[in-house]
Structure 1
């Protein structure tokens, strides 16, 4: 990094994003040996080819009017087009918001209303948006968090913060480095796949491989495709799938699997290690700050060790992290960030002697489904707003979302309506209709999953 200007951390709303911010992509992500393989998204791509594709895409985006200080939302599936568009927009000095391609039209429209980008880029189009606004901050990346209630759900990060996180990855012992491969099972829209996968690979000289099929045979085929030390990077869901595979083929290339996004069930690390002879490492992180703590060897489970420079505090059983500025755009809920501390809303234990953190689970309504964050409040409010629904409550039990409603319609119709409003991973596994929701003596709706199941069993005995 010697001799390169530090990415700009401040921004004047009347000026474009500085060349230092726009240029960080060339310096950190696109430099290196032109012949070096860097991506495998259906076909191999070396750095020379990637740079050419990014430059072509940059010219295309400039031709439609995207400029430094402009704003764009990407809604693309994992693909070479996604990677080149993201990097090209950053090279122009634009602020990029990432939308999961699995969002429904209704969810996408709500996100666009909140973010106000000037352009929406889909698989086959670049759509100018009439109500779009230019950037009002120096943040290069904007993501939507699905936290619980409150206004502070738009998360933004500067290029300086992304480089800080990339430095954390480079300092991690046992995290894949130059000459190795990452087979990515996590979404590149979300922080693990984006920074720990895509950006780290480009920065550190790895080849990033996205399997064509996210099935156990497809994943292992991607691992076996090259005689290079390979790390699987994903969420616990895939570790469980692989651990259950009866007779996996030999994978001498596999050195470890690393998972994040939700708590790992106690039986999984040992089962995975027994099946493949390599450790199941874990990471703990947040969209707001990226990687926070790790246990890449599996020796600390269920604890993790904070990465270099991360300062953690435990306040009333909740984990707080030092963060000098709010990571949220717009008004900041003091319950999420205040006085230089990010409130994780995770219940945890903190060993004052070793510094190890043991995360116990969420303190609010946010849960993880297959590594993707879901706000139960959003699901509940969407269900309650459907025609014919009088009242609704959503609970989380045994790793699944359950919904209960009093409604003048059928469960089948409600499921169909919900499918048009919510992404598939947000949909309740079970939706039960009741004459009325059970309530406490004071009139509040019961939210305990066991009580709700008991009420359902009384109405619908098996």
Structure 2
């Protein structure tokens, strides 16, 4: 069991910067469409729904300085629940609805919320973009009020290790919204954002949902996160449209054989790993739209961007974000540590957060280039090997759709390919491209790579090996990387 982060006595409302929900997120003409899920939701309707949920939370015992965990799938209910919690002056913890019962139990033990908001009935559907759900509010015995002024608690993705509890104050979220507002080319009032990234994780939450509400851009959740579902969501409105997602979703769209003409589609912006060059070319050529990229992390939100793809792979630090590189590591200037509970004290020192990402800054242009994780460097026979270099070399091979390289008993590669012949010739192809000490000791074939809730490939060797064993025990499947349609 983790260390609970709750306190023992109520504190003042976490909304120390004023009523930021009303003043920033719910402001505006009530007739304007704020959200579009199964149908349009005006700002007046959203305000009404949030107020009604706020009353239900109060009836369940929530007061300013209280704590509530929201574990709902992408839905109007999820959006209303988090806004109602913040409007009540409470600390809101967001839990991904895809977590197992065991994982939810561990998270609740760490966070100790007073209330949990969950679906009244379990939901399923891997490609669903949103759900129609009724929310159930459950008071928890032993739940504790907030011990800090963080408005938001999230768990890190856990792609490389155990999750950390990350806190964001209202001031931190407002500062990130200000950075988005100052980004040239990010959705503005009168435009639309089709949000594919999860709205309970930082990219979809702040860059998609909260920015859209604050800026007056319509926030659209597609009914289905398939090629057809996403394209229908884009085509449903004639306003300038931006798609916000992750690289794997770009690959799904790029795989469409004959993309439709969508003049309203301005660009897609992805967070996470850099999109493969071949995927980028297929997307930009097929749709006649730009493909931008963002670098960020749960601890701070958006850090640097290249919204047009013109500077690939370099990025421009976001307005107001202090970034420097120290001994090859990217550091962020933050007013306080984002971590809640026990954590590595060396991670945040003298106002600077160590990201554990390798990077460099061009002294002339000021552009930032992210080179991968610092912990991707391992020693093989006394020689340094950068696993990200090996991974990039494999991913660049024709017919390889995706690859993850980790270090366990040796260098291990887990790959997705277009056809069996590509995998059969992989060892020979790598022999011509990598020195012997850099080559993977084992090559493993997967039809799907395990991913975190945010869509990042898992880099835990044990989980990857388990996926290989599971795939070997399953009936043979056709190797195919194109997106499923509906």
Q: Does TM, scored on the shorter chain, surpass 0.5?
A: yes
Map residues 113-128 of structure 1 onto 2, 5 A cutoff.
113-124=109-120, 125-128=136-139
The structure 2 residue matched to 1:110, chosen from 106, 109, 119, is 106
Instruction: Answer yes or no: is the 8 Å Cα contact 1:99–1:143 preserved in 2.
Output: yes
Query: Following TM superposition, by how much is the alpha carbon of 1:363 offset from its aligned partner in structure 2, in angstroms?
Result: 2.3
Aligned partner of 2:178 in structure 1 is 167
Any residues of structure 2 matched to 1:131-280 within 5 Å, and which? 131-147=142-158, 153-280=164-291
Runs (4+) off by over 6 Å: 148-152, 365-368, 422-425
Partner Cα separation in structure 2 for residue 429 and residue 255 of structure 1? 40
2:45 is equivalent to residue 45 of structure 1: no
1:62 aligns with 2:58: yes
Cα distance in structure 1, aligned partners of 2:416 and 2:341 = 33
CA distance in 2, matches of 1:356, 1:19: 35
Give the C-alpha shift of residue 396 in structure 1: 5.9
Structure 2 match to 1:78: 74
Q: TM-score, normalised by structure 2?
A: 0.74
Gap runs ≥5 in structure 2: 1-6, 121-135, 377-386, 392-403, 418-449, 470-486
Give 1:331 deviation, angstroms.
2.8
Superposition deviation, residue 15 in structure 1: 3.0
In the superposition, relative to structure 1, how do residues 331 and 18 fare at CA in structure 2: closer, same or farther (>3 Å)?
closer
Map Cα deviations across residues 271-293 of structure 1 (whole Å, 9 max, x no partner): 21111111100000010000000
Partner deviation per Cα, 1:114-135 (whole Å, 9 max, x = no partner): 1111111101221211121110
CA deviation map 1:319-377 (0-9, x unaligned): 11111210001234134211211111111122122111111212237999xxxxx9x99
> How far 1:244 moved relative to its partner?
1.4
Structure 1, unaligned runs of 5 or more = 1-10, 369-373, 381-391, 401-418, 434-462
Partner residue, 2:299: 288
Q: Deviations over 1:231-280 (max 9, x none)?
A: 10000111111111111221111011100022222322222111111110
Matched-pair contact (CA < 8 Å) for 1:141–1:157: yes
The TM-score normalised by the length of structure 1 is 0.77
Which residue of 2 is the match for residue 383 of structure 1?
none
Q: Is the 8 A contact 1:12 1:137 kept in 2?
A: no
Is 1:92 aligned to 2:88, yes or no?
Answer: yes
1:415 alignment partner in structure 2: none
Question: CA-to-partner distance for each residue in 1:114-171, whole Å, 9 max, x for gaps?
Answer: 1111111101221211121110111100001135788881100110110100011010
Task: Determine the C-alpha separation between the residues in 2 that align with 1:40 and 1:142.
Answer: 26
Q: Does structure 1 conserve the Cα–Cα contact (< 8 Å) formed by 2:195 and 2:243? A: yes
User: Which of 300, 319, 324 matches 2:335?
Assistant: 324
Q: Give the 3 Å change call, closer, same or farther, for CA 259–78 of structure 1 in structure 2.
A: same
